[in-house]
Structure 1
Amino acid sequence: MKSPVVKRSIVVAGHKTSVSLEEAFWNGMKEISALRNMTLSELVGEIDNNRQQGNLSSAIRLFVLDYFRSRAMAAQPDNNVPAQ
């Protein structure tokens, strides 16, 4: 059985590194970087610079989760507004 985790090489801040992520997270990263008009390497570099702890793969997963969770919350109708 093929592993759902895909290992890819990426250049972050001028240094080549490899990151192992599930395909869904790679796709999420590609979508986010396209929406921000930046390369995948630039986005990973931003995540790397802002991470507090843990490894880069974990930081990326948390970033993608937070990004799409925030979008989902923003799309929700405001529950504090009375229905008319």
Structure 2
Amino acid sequence: MRKRSITLKGHRTSIALEAEFWDALDAFAEADKRTLPALINSIDRDRLKRSPPPGLASAIRVYVLKRLQAGE
């Protein structure tokens, strides 16, 4: 597990994910031509639309899985 701190909605938060998920997120952010915090903020906004919302780390893992399944 690797922890990184980012700012979401003006507040610092730490996210713990396996290195492979961080690597995939970094690659997706680069492919999308946006920053990693911008990508994570987008994932966070989408997860908050669900009821009940999943945890952020879980939402990130599902996001990575879906993108990989889509062949990205």
TM-score of the two chains, using structure 2 as the length reference:
0.88
C-alpha separation in 2, matches of 1:11 and 1:39: 12
Aligned length: 68
Structure 1 stretches lacking a partner, 5+ long: 73-84
Q: CA RMSD in A?
A: 1.1
Q: SS of the counterpart of 2:24?
A: helix
Structure-to-structure mapping, 1:54-69, within 5 angstroms = 54-69=54-69
SS in 1 for 2:70: helix
* Runs of at least 5 residues in structure 2 that lack an aligned partner in the other structure: none
Runs of 4+ in 1 over 3 A off after TM superposition: none
Calculate the TM-score normalised by the size of structure 1.
Answer: 0.76
Which entry has the higher C-alpha Rg, 1 or 2?
Answer: 1
Which one is further off, 37-46 or 9-18? 9-18
